[in-house]
Amino acid sequence: MIVLFKGDGIGPEIVDGAVTVLKRVEQKFGHRFRFEPALIGGASIDDCGKPLTEDTVAVCKQADAVLLGAVGGPKWDSIPVEDRPERGLLGIRSALGLFANLRPAYLYQELAAACPLREERVNGGIDLMMVRELTGGIYFGKRGTVTKENGKKSAFDRMEYSEEEIERIGVIAFRQAMTRRKKLVSVDKANVLDTSRLWRSVMHRLSERFPEVEYRDQLVDSAAMQLVSDPGQFDVIVTENMFGDILSDEASMAAGSIGMLPSASLGDGTRGLYEPIHGSAPDIAGRDAANPLATILSAAMMLRISFGMEEEARAVEAAVQSALTSGYRTKDIAAQGETVTGCRKMAEIVANAI
Ligand SMILES: NC(=O)c1ccc[n+]([C@@H]2O[C@H](COP(=O)([O-])OP(=O)(O)OC[C@H]3O[C@@H](n4cnc5c(N)ncnc54)[C@H](O)[C@@H]3O)[C@@H](O)[C@H]2O)c1
Ligand SMILES: CC(C)[C@H](C(=O)O)[C@@H](O)C(=O)O
Ligand SMILES: [Mg+2]
């Protein structure tokens, strides 16, 4: 069973696109997926006042996989942070124990013109895997706002990591590297933060267990710079929650658009949550202008990881490649003068190419 969280903004449009493709996979390969629609984020707030309910969490715990569009938008921006749509997303990641977030960034040759980096920076190709810790760090630490004696406020967000949390994400990253080009960069801020120094010492220990992996550490500010100056050098990057959030949006531009980057959030078993890395894009919502490919590629990751359907996953990825090779472009990936295809049509083109 697949829980479908359409969410907010462009969420319904891009999830519909992914479902169009999954229905084609059913037809072509003789499967039958059971889709279970559920509410999260602003859609859930509008329905019952909460961004995620216990009943919804219970349904997700019964599921094989969860496919999510995006949450959030201006309508809910003035709600206190604990009740905002984004809390629903953090809540489901945490409730399902999804500590490992895999965010592959790949530049399709056809999209080189859409990439804002100069050609010589990307012509060696870009194919990297960001492994982001997802249920710890500053996102989940103690936080608060206090009023001081002088009447002014002070706020804090605490960042904490245990060795166990670092080790389990590190193991995932080293294993990813072993299945790829065997290069791993761990990104931290060890020249300032204690959490980063602990992070680094655990990664060093792990690197002895994976001697075939060429390992190095890099400070986050320098990594941010290198991601735009020479993105092709990276194979696997492992980093903590907030650095990974920021660096993956940055890496998406090396791939041409944030509308191209899928993700898988995983825990100990095969159940996963699959979602594009981008948000609800309120500026283009409801206009059939969103790029559905990140969500479609997330569905491909779901087929591969949660359902063990390698052939089907490859068929979806090949269909995305074929749509791009045939010249179809949503607005975000269209170079000057290229014809623009809408969200629904793009999904149909991909589905028909399977
Ligand atoms: N996983 C999630 O659900 C998630 C992720 C990030 C942000 N958000 C939320 O989304 C809301 C909007 O955030 P934001 O504007 O900072 O980031 P965003 O990722 O929604 O949008 C940033 C820019 O990228 C464009 N964009 C994003 N996805 C696109 C797609 N598929 N096709 C074409 N263009 C696309 C948008 O139009 C916008 O110009 C906020 O409420 C934020 O909290 C949710
Ligand atoms: C919406 C927000 C909570 C989320 C995050 O920061 O993890 C988003 O930016 C993402 O990248 O999935
Ligand atoms: Mg983000």
Q: Are 102 and 129 in contact (CB under 8 A)?
A: yes
CATH 3.40.718.10 domain residues, the chain: 1-102+260-354, 116-254
Residue 275 near ligand 1, beta carbon < 6 Å: yes
CB-ligand 2 contact for 347 (6 Å cutoff): no
**Which alpha helices (DSSP H) does the chain contain, by range?**
11-29, 42-48, 54-62, 85-95, 119-122, 163-179, 194-209, 220-229, 241-254, 293-305, 310-325, 343-352
Which atom of ligand 1 lies nearest, measured to the CA of 284? 37
Instruction: Provide the pLDDT confidence category of residue 180 given band limits of 50, 70 and 90.
Output: very high
Checking 203-209 for CB contacts under 8 A at 24+ apart, the result is 203/166, 203/170, 203/238, 206/167, 206/170, 206/171, 206/174, 207/174, 209/174
Indicate the pLDDT class of residue 120, thresholds 50, 70 and 90.
Answer: confident
Residue identified by tokens 């791939």 is 255
Q: Does the beta carbon of 291 sit less than 6 angstroms from any atom of ligand 1?
A: yes
- For the Cβ of 90 lying below 6 angstroms from any atom of ligand 2, the answer is yes
User: What confidence tier does 119 reach under pLDDT thresholds 50, 70, 90?
Assistant: confident
How close is the Cα of 232 to the center of ligand 2, in Å?
A: 25
Report the SS3 class of residue 237.
strand
Residue 58 DSSP SS3: helix
What value does the mean pLDDT take over residues 186-208? 98
Q: Is the ipTM of this complex over 0.90?
A: yes
Whether domain 1-102+260-354 has CATH 3.40.50.620:
no
**pLDDT higher than threshold 90 for residue 225:** yes
Residue having the nearest C-alpha atom to atom 4 of ligand 1: 279
80 is in an annotated binding site: yes
pLDDT of residue 336: 86
Alpha helices of 63-108 — where are they, by DSSP H?
85-95
For helices 11-29 and 310-325, give the axis angle rounded to 10 degrees.
120
Q: For position 330, what pLDDT does the model report? A: 98
The answer to whether the predicted template modeling score (pTM) of the entire model surpasses 0.90 is yes
CA–CA gap between residue 347 and residue 195 (Å, rounded) = 42
Q: Closest Cα to residue 175, out of 218, 133, 212, 223?
A: 212
Q: For atom 7 of ligand 2, which residue has the closest CA?
A: 245
Nearest CA, atom 2, ligand 2: 86
Among the four given CATH numbers 3.40.630.10, 3.40.50.2300, 3.40.718.10, 3.40.309.10, the one describing domain 116-254? 3.40.718.10
CA pair distance 87, 64, nearest whole angstrom: 22
Q: Which atom of ligand 1 is nearest to the CA of 73?
A: 41
Instruction: Tell me the HSE value of 159 on the side-chain side, using a 13 A CA sphere.
Output: 19
Alpha-carbon gap, residue 346 to 250, rounded angstroms: 24
